[in-house]
Chain A
């Protein structure tokens, strides 16, 4: 599996899109820090971008890479390698190279601006960790979608719709249900509703750490009331981890059954 991971990782590192992705974060970091010299404010702005963009990139790269490497997969399947190692190895290759671009791309500008001397170092690392989680989650899900759909167009469609649902539609539905069921106690409902969406969860996680109640919104406030900051962070991390493990498990199951 390590060998497959290595080949996928370096294959992607050589591709143009990884450079574009890396350059984008580099530019974003520098521009943000140039516009507001306060590092912790830059972290908040960055969060809003990262939380939407990272899942989108994870989704697109995941599904694209799966379809592009179909030939490679077929070649490997005839070799004495475990099936699960092929698929999990490729998935980890994509997810690590994306995370690598994210961390290095954002890390350089913040390093230049002296992140180590500021108090925001913990917040910034949390942002990177969440970004990493989101990459692993959405790449895994889009890989699974690719694996389940022979038809490229369909696979792409489902993957994009999934991202759109999680990033945009989910919040809309959530707000509507809050308004419609105003008369009822909605604490538990909204708590679970936010656990069920990794993007919401990441937002809450970062805001909890930053302790900005004004930005936290309804779910964030409930989250903090329910778990407290310390436990809130631990639980949110745990659920994010679960969001990685479950799709990886699904990939494994699908890979064992599929015919080529």
Chain B
């Protein structure tokens, strides 16, 4: 599964989870993802509780995440938690800490501890 497919599956899992939709109903954010080794960019959008994903640049993103392609893939497939590469310096983020925490919590609610 490539990164785009992983992101689309992630978005689908979020949308199928009623608790997550409820939690994110006021969390409207645009997230840019940059795979540093392949120089590919993707975006995730949260709007009124629904998540969508796609390839390409994100204009005026609130949160920017960069890491190697395999790291991003593993995070959005639930193989690793975002915290692991983040605490190792392999995942860099630009944005509000509350938004980063929210993204981590979303992965926690989908894949558990």
Q: Do A and B come from one complex?
A: no
Binding site for B on A (CB under 8 A): none
Binding site for A on B (CB under 8 A): none
